[in-house]
Amino acid sequence: MTPEENPPAWKSIDELLSAMRAGNRLALARLISKIENRDRDLPEIMKKLYPLTGHARVLGVTGPPGAGKSTLVDRLIAHLRLLKKRVAVVAVDPSSPFSGGAILGDRIRMQSHHLDPGVYIRSLASRGKHGGLSHATKEVVLTLDAAGFDYVLVETAGVGQTELDILKLAQTVVVVLVPESGDSIQVMKAGLMEIADVFAVNKSDRPEADKLVRELLTMVGMADHDEKSWLNPVLKTEAHRDVGVAELLVAVESHQSHLTASGKRDAKLRDFLQEEVGDILTERLNETLKNAFQTASGQAVLEQLVKREIDPYFAAQLIST
Amino acid sequence: MTPEENPPAWKSIDELLSAMRAGNRLALARLISKIENRDRDLPEIMKKLYPLTGHARVLGVTGPPGAGKSTLVDRLIAHLRLLKKRVAVVAVDPSSPFSGGAILGDRIRMQSHHLDPGVYIRSLASRGKHGGLSHATKEVVLTLDAAGFDYVLVETAGVGQTELDILKLAQTVVVVLVPESGDSIQVMKAGLMEIADVFAVNKSDRPEADKLVRELLTMVGMADHDEKSWLNPVLKTEAHRDVGVAELLVAVESHQSHLTASGKRDAKLRDFLQEEVGDILTERLNETLKNAFQTASGQAVLEQLVKREIDPYFAAQLIST
């Protein structure tokens, strides 16, 4: 039996939050599970938790499968721990039938940081609900922030809309590429520049690494910019040999300073909050919709719709009033 | 200048719909563009269009990249044309920075069926709005149905949540795999069985094809079923040599008969309609949200939120009332 199956019985949300703030892992895990399961206590939890947020640096790490993201995240954790920073990792996997959905890197990290109380690692997987995963991830990040972690790393496989939504919640996004990614750079230029703040060319001991670095630098140079713009650094890393990781962290810190100095940190926070409010209302609408067609009047609307006596837009009006 | 840039000036929605019903391609293209652009006439369009629907067979074709979906769809079109069926294809591409977003197959098809008035091909690409693409695709399929096409084929690259949502609108889903997909079958079992009605093992002249067929048959056999269940057929195809395509169509037709006989066709229609109503209300909420924070009171709410005087759930309440 794992501890989570038989956890202490906290008597109230306040007790649970106090335990979490005091560093209790089970309390933290319990809160995150409540978020994942969209517990009905969420409004109360967020009410008490939200004032405690605003301290963590939230970093996104993304890139195509096989780029070595997990190893790089593992190395970033190690470096941040040397700096005495508390680090949480949220590995997000919007599983699809064609991707499978296993985050293998977790096992590695779990092993190397298992006994370190300054590191917390959690995977979040899709429950199949549209938009639900990025909403839950936002609230998990807020929770880890409130729990006192200095850094929250959000790792995604970066292949779809959900991942892009998730990355919006990061202050600094590191896009990890490998020399083999070169060929596909051309087609993904626009999208990459939109999400990346720092590029890491990983496995840079391989041939073609310098070519990819040049391509990325050219891309960065061609983007619209003025003297106040952030020019995305392009760094070479070899995560498995711990090469370039300290430099990557310097680039991340430099971007964090830029965020503050340029006023973009505040703008990002505002965007994040507007999205969170939107997610809450969307979730509420989805709850309403789930039940709307179960009532007698809802059934009658559906019947008219099936017989094509009314159209979907009119039905929507009937359902929502 | 393409024709769409300088189209005839239909004076009303009624005129536009009449032209579409009479087979006017520009009118059809115009209507689909209105759906893509979420035109404000949509409620009126759907009100007049929806009663004309319910005749088309809606097929989904999905599978991993490189499985040969486009070639197979091209061959399906040719076979259906021999049967004098009018065929529309909607190629949906939820583009992401890592996938790039080009549906190359279109160009091939455009060439071979360009002059055939019984074939209409259209690509839909993501506008980046969450859930917006599957909603637009549903309404495009309804439009093609109302336009009198006997078959509407919806082709997706099948790698994410958006694609799965889109496939829900198909009555029969063909999942296209290639022998090389074998290794990944194990991890995607559950997801595949959930969406597939018919399996096509394409490029079946390659080694390992029979092994994949056996694996799929084993998977089908292991799924829960009783005498009334549909046992997903597993067919071998070589789309580029036109091998197995007629048999694939027979399997599709057989599934269509099963849908009617089992009552599942009606259940699917009900699900589809409930989703469409949900999409309409979600879209409306998103419109509301877009403007909510622009007003003076919305700005005040955001200000309190930034200062952490209120939490997102309370802000959501304030915004929505």
DSSP string, A63-78: -STTS-HHHHHHHHHH
Return the residue of A nearest to B310 by Cα. A47
Instruction: Indicate the fold that domain B53-261 takes in CATH.
Output: Rossmann fold (3.40.50)
Distance separating alpha carbons of residues B90 and B100, to the nearest angstrom? 18
Distance separating alpha carbons of residues A25 and A23, to the nearest angstrom? 6
Position A104 pLDDT exceeds 70: no
Q: Which of B176, B313, B317, B319 to mutate to test the interface with A (most CBs of A within 10 A)?
A: B313
Position B247 pLDDT exceeds 90: yes
Indicate yes or no: CB of A97 within 8 angstroms of CB of B194: yes
Nearest C-alpha of chain A: how many angstroms from B266?
8
Where along chain B do the CATH 3.40.50.300 domains lie? 53-261
pLDDT in tens, A216-253: 898 888 877 787 889 999 999 999 999 999 999 999 99
Where along chain A do the CATH 3.40.50.300 domains lie? 53-262
Indicate yes or no: CB of B97 within 8 angstroms of CB of A273: no
Position B29 pLDDT exceeds 90: yes
Q: Which residue matches tokens 């979907």?
A: A312
Position B99 pLDDT exceeds 50: no
Residue type, B15: E
Residues of B in contact with A156 (CB under 8 A): none
Distances from the Cα of B249 to the Cα of A249, B202, B254, angstroms: 56, 14, 8
Position B271 pLDDT exceeds 70: yes
Distances from the Cα of A163 to the Cα of A61, A138, A159, A234, B96, angstroms: 11, 12, 7, 22, 9
How many beta-carbon contacts under 8 Å exist across A and B?
A: 189
Closest to B280 (Cβ–Cβ): which among A43, A188, A316? A316
The pLDDT score that the predictor gives to residue B53 is 96
β-pairing, B151-156 vs B57-62, is parallel
Residues of A in contact with B298 (CB under 8 A): none
> How many residues comprise chain A?
321
- What mean pLDDT do residues A264-277 have? 93
Residues of B in contact with A17 (CB under 8 A): none
Read off the pLDDT band of B116 (50, 70, 90). Answer: confident
Which residue did the predictor score with more confidence, A228 or A122?
A122
Of A161, A248, A238, nearest to A198 by C-alpha is A248
Quote the CATH superfamily of domain A53-262: P-loop containing nucleotide triphosphate hydrolases (3.40.50.300)
Read off the pLDDT band of A152 (50, 70, 90). Answer: very high
The pLDDT score that the predictor gives to residue B117 is 87
- What mean pLDDT do residues A135-157 have? 94
- For residues B141 and B108, the answer to whether their CB atoms sit within 8 Å is no
Indicate yes or no: CB of B162 within 8 angstroms of CB of A158: no
- For residues B279 and B134, the answer to whether their CB atoms sit within 8 Å is yes
Query: Of the given ranges (A138-152, B141-155, B269-283), which has the lowest mean pLDDT?
Result: B269-283
* B115 C-beta neighbours (distance < 10 Å), count: 7
Q: Give me the interface pTM, i.e. the ipTM.
A: 0.85
Distance separating alpha carbons of residues B309 and B295, to the nearest angstrom? 19
Indicate yes or no: CB of A97 within 8 angstroms of CB of B276: no
Backbone angles phi, psi at A181, to 5 degrees: -70, -15
- For residues B108 and B71, the answer to whether their CB atoms sit within 8 Å is yes
| DSSP string across A155-220 | EE---SHHHHHHHTT-SEEEEEE-GGGHHHHHHHHHHHHHH-SEEEE-STTSTTHHHHHHHHHHHH
pTM: 0.72
* B6 C-beta neighbours (distance < 10 Å), count: 9
Nearest C-alpha of chain A: how many angstroms from B62?
10
Nearest C-alpha of chain A: how many angstroms from B288?
10
Position A258 pLDDT exceeds 80: yes
If DSSP codes are grouped into helix, strand and coil, which group holds residue B59? strand
Residues of B in contact with A46 (CB under 8 A): 311-313
Return the residue of A nearest to B165 by Cα. A130
Position B207 pLDDT exceeds 90: no
Q: Which of A17, A35, A161 to mutate to test the interface with B (most CBs of B within 10 A)?
A: A161
Position A189 pLDDT exceeds 80: no
- Using CA of residue A296, residue A301, residue A302, residue A303, what is the dihedral sign? positive
